[in-house]
Amino acid sequence: MSEQTTDDIETPIRIRDPARKERILTAAADLVAHKGFHAVSMSDIGKAAGITGSGIYRHFDSKSAVLVALFDRVIDNLLLDEQRIVETVDDLPEALNRLIEGQVEFVVADRQLAQVYHNEINNLPEEDSRRLRRKQRMYLEEWVHLLDELRDELSDADTRTLVHAAIGAIQSTLFHNAGLPEDRLRQLLITAAQVILAI
């Protein structure tokens, strides 16, 4: 009988739980929204996600990396939604209304994550912060382009000011909670943005 070598023994392949990364991100968003970025540890995130704190390091190098991944997901989803609208909706007012609805949905349905994004983006490493702000500008440019097409009496500065004002009005609900039902809140925020943009 031949002697078995270590080369003959198959090492089991470790399969990562595909939902684990999502659990980490969801737990991090919730904790940071309630406690703030600096008050939350990797151990806290791991415990909330149902794994050890050290297990997070299989997916993320640091707490900042978790935050960066959260923010990338936020802006990438907004950009994908925007691209889909621009490519499929020919009517300009309707396209802009869909962008408004998408921003409102983000702020209302993902309120905690939106709060984290707004409050914590300055806690990121400079390179990540610059990259995310570049994505933000790309997102805003489509709003500016559509409004410019719809209201040619506006200067470029006018258009950009109104776009920022409309998005600011939508995001104002992140810092004030009147206890409205979500459907009513959506309706009011959409109307406010439409009034500001005069569409």
Coil, strand or helix at 88 = helix
- Asked whether residue 159 carries a pLDDT value surpassing 90, the answer given is yes
Alpha carbon 21 to chain centroid, angstroms? 16
pLDDT at position 179 over 50: yes
* Residue 117: band (very low, low, confident or very high) from pLDDT cuts 50, 70, 90: confident
Of 76, 42, 67, nearest to 56 by C-alpha is 42
Instruction: State phi, psi for 17 to the nearest 5 degrees.
Output: -70, 115
pLDDT tens column, 188-197:
999 999 999 9
Buried b (16+ CB within 10 A) or exposed e, 74-105: bbeebeebbeebeeebeeeeebbbbbbbbbbb
What pLDDT does residue 76 have?
Answer: 93
Cβ atoms within 10 Å, residue 156: 9
Residue 97 scores a pLDDT above 60: yes
Ordered by where they begin, the domains of the chain are 16-60 (1.10.10.60), 66-197 (1.10.357.10)
